[in-house]
Amino acid sequence: MTSMDGVVFEKQRFQLCALHCLNCLFQNSSAFCKASLDEICRRLCPNRTIFNPHRSWLGLGNYDVNVILFALQSKGYKGLWFDQRRSLSQVETEFLLGFILNVPAPTFKFLNFLRPCVDRRHWISFRRIEGNFYNFDSLQNSPSLIGSDEDMINYLSRELKLPDRNLILVVADDVDDSLVWKE
């Protein structure tokens, strides 16, 4: 974990991008730990301790979206799947805590033959801090400034044009879903 000008950022360890994504989203390096995400996996699938379908069977992370959504819920937030048939310009960013982008995880070319067996995804959080959005991609060396709401919408619009991307809008539980969309 590093802190630059008060901004919490965690660098990728093992397959724990979901953990880093959540901690950066909440700007709290102790919001979640590996044990708390593993406990969520156990709660989601109590009869599958070793080969739990919500994480890597190696125990190194690679948590799925169910773990992320449950973790958000445990902190009083909810994740709304972004319908890519809509325009991101319809999103009222003022009601969001942030965004979570799911992308294909980079793989080593010599391991491509194993991809069907070890399909991995990478989680990236984005959050507004002091009026600017930041990209908290744990594969980078530090958070990167994206800029204004418009810059963020443009950035995510470009990302969603690439294949195999999914976006989650993160809002407080008490925010009515209809407030997230401009009419």
54 counts as catalytic:
no
Strands (E), the chain: 2-4, 7-9, 77-81, 96-104, 121-129, 132-136, 144-147, 166-172
Q: How many helices (H) and strands (E) does the chain have?
A: 4, 8
Q: What tokens does 181 get?
A: 């969309």
User: Could you say which of 24, 41, 54, 122 is catalytic?
Assistant: 122
User: Could you say which of 17, 21, 24, 41 is catalytic?
Assistant: 17
122 counts as catalytic:
yes
Structural contact between residues 119 and 102, judged by C-beta atoms closer than 8 angstroms: no
Which amino acids are annotated catalytic? 17, 122
